Amino acid sequence: MFNLCKSYRYQSSGYYVSLLAEARGHKPLPKVGAIEDLQSRNLTRYLTENLDALIQRQLGSLTSDDFELGIYFGRNIASRYDPLSHQLFTLMQAPLLRAHFERRRNRWALGSIRSIAASDIPSGHREFMVRVATDYFMGRTRRMKKPPLPRFDLAILHEPDNPEPPSNEKAMQKFKRAAEELGMRVQFITRADIGRLAEFDALFIRDTTFVNHYTYRFSRRAFAKGLVVIDEPDSILKCNNKVYLAELLAQHNIRAPKTLLVHRENISQVVRDLGLPCILKQPDSSFSRGVIKVETETELLSRIPGLLAKSALIIAQEWLPTEFDWRVGILDRKVLFVARYCFPAGHWQIIKRDEQQHKLNEGTTQAIPVNQAPEEVVWIALKSANLIGDGFYGVDIKQIDNRCYVIEVNDNPNVDAGNEDAVAKDTLYREVMSTFLKRIEARKQGGLSKVDDGSGRANRGFCRVATADQAEADHFKKMLMTEIFTVIPA
């Protein structure tokens, strides 16, 4: 449904046309979310972040310091501005737009963008507008590929200054492209955008997660607002604590390196139970930080007090020498990828660091086809990850002969272009985004605030009507819709 009302002002006729269309399951253009975006004071900044290079390229040759761009279904009467018009239309999804640009300090910036009525179109543009609108309605092929109308909004949380992000820039763009191909609009957000979470249907966290950290606060707030979240708060809590993981694996008889939970009263048991060398771990260690190999009892006794100063319990494990660790990526209880994380020459960890924890060297990543991975590796990874939930996990495993040992289950696993995706290629990114789409649709259609994780628990905040008789259910829904549209007539 194409909404060409003169005004989309809040609670105007144009506003209700789109609002009621969405309520009735139609696909209006623009959606109410786009209407709100057009009225946002911060919109210019968000748009400019992603389109700055295109704006400079398209407008760089202009001699004036002001420029207005009329956008009609993603087209401009001057075809050379079609790339910029198309991008703004794709972002805002309003049929008739006018964008105002200003040159400041020799750089162009988007000053404002607003929807316009048909009566606002200059007389010299009206014939062109009718032609491109007709092409759009008829679905005729345009020179640029027309993406599907965004059905849902996905936020990808990242930290631009993180020197070791869980996904490199190329992978981030692949995630974005896969989501857009499935009909989702994507925005990259940062820690400053926590107040915007209500604008989205889902949140994908692509920064290293910790419990006492902004990533956990984002996850908690998004989860409370009913968004589909990966990683959701429970997974962050459980995977970020190796004490919890050690106890969980032991309770379910999953093979792991021999482990001791160390506190101030049992330090003397470490050498007796585990031998030397052994591994000491801070409970919330990650990326090879907070993990120490000790060779002698003297070194052990000197290292443990510093670790216990930060946590009442730490982990000590027997040392299992291998040339690489297996990493199995799992989402929605299915294997996405399998890779070998090799160690740098002469080192026992994937990442070699100096005393200040700066990265000195990193081993290679070798992705392999899932069907070529040892069955025991895949089986024990799935069994371990399923104890946490149905989120996105990376299970690290050591293999000695035919015996596999689970080292840990990580939330927020690495996906770097050229590494973990070397076998699955773009299919990996599409699988992740298909999971988001499936879960968003389940909430929208079924009224659940969270896809069942197998625990039998359902989240509060949404209502579902359950009945054994389908005819009764259909009657109930019809009765509800009758009541709604008696109050707000069609």
* Structure tokens belonging to residue 289: 């930080």
pLDDT band at 476 (very low <50, low <70, confident <90, very high): very low
CATH code that applies to domain 40-138:
3.30.470
DSSP 106-142: TEEEEEEEEE--GGGS-GGGHHHHHHHHHHHHHT---
Over the range 19-31, which residues count as b (16 or more CB within 10 Å of their CB) and which as e? bbbeeeeeebbbb
Distance (Å, rounded) from C-alpha 48 to C-alpha 349? 42
Contact 167, 206 (CB under 8 A): yes
**Span of 69-78, 135-144, 328-337, 417-426 with lowest mean pLDDT:** 135-144
What pLDDT is stored for residue 478 in this prediction? 45
Higher pLDDT, 7 or 488: 7
DSSP state, 198? G
Does the global pTM surpass 0.75?
A: no
What pLDDT is stored for residue 353 in this prediction? 67
Residue that has been written with the tokens 């690290």 in this structure: 396
Q: What is the pLDDT of residues 394-414, one digit of tens each?
A: 999 999 998 999 999 999 999
Residue 173 pLDDT greater than 90, yes or no:
yes
Residues 169-183: what's their mean pLDDT? 94
Residue 153 pLDDT greater than 50, yes or no:
yes
Contact 71, 97 (CB under 8 A): yes
What pLDDT is stored for residue 12 in this prediction? 80
pLDDT band at 212 (very low <50, low <70, confident <90, very high): confident
Cβ-based neighbour number of residue 188 at 10 Å? 19
pLDDT band at 140 (very low <50, low <70, confident <90, very high): low
Instruction: Answer whether CATH 3.40.50.970 is correct for domain 152-239.
Output: no
Mean pLDDT (the chain, rounded) = 83
Spell out the residues 6+ positions from residue 246 whose beta carbon is closer than 8 angstroms to its own. Answer: 256, 259, 261, 315
pLDDT band at 243 (very low <50, low <70, confident <90, very high): confident
- In the chain, where the domains are located: 40-138, 152-239, 258-319
Tell me which architecture the domain covering 258-319 has in CATH. 2-Layer Sandwich (3.30)
Q: What is the pLDDT of residues 2-47, one digit of tens each?
A: 888 888 877 788 888 888 887 777 778 888 777 776 776 565 565 5
What pLDDT is stored for residue 118 in this prediction? 83
Query: What 3-state DSSP class applies to 281?
Result: strand
**Which of 230-244, 418-432, 444-458 reaches the highest mean pLDDT?**
418-432
What pLDDT is stored for residue 351 in this prediction? 72
Contact 247, 418 (CB under 8 A): no
Nearest to 132 by CA among 175, 89, 168, 178: 89
**Which of 117-131, 144-158, 243-257 reaches the highest mean pLDDT?**
243-257
Contact 393, 432 (CB under 8 A): no
Distance (Å, rounded) from C-alpha 310 to C-alpha 104? 50
**Beta-strand relationship, 152-157 and 392-400:** unpaired
Q: How many residues are there in the chain?
A: 490
Residue 101 pLDDT greater than 70, yes or no:
yes
Query: What 3-state DSSP class applies to 330?
Result: strand
* Structure tokens belonging to residue 471: 């005819």
Distance (Å, rounded) from C-alpha 221 to C-alpha 157? 13
CA angle 291, 295, 298 (to 5 degrees): 100
Contact 431, 368 (CB under 8 A): no
Contact 316, 260 (CB under 8 A): yes
Nearest to 242 by CA among 269, 275, 274, 210: 210
Residues 299-325: what's their mean pLDDT? 90
Distance (Å, rounded) from C-alpha 150 to C-alpha 132? 20
Residue 257 pLDDT greater than 70, yes or no:
yes
Q: What percent of the chain has pLDDT over 70?
A: 83
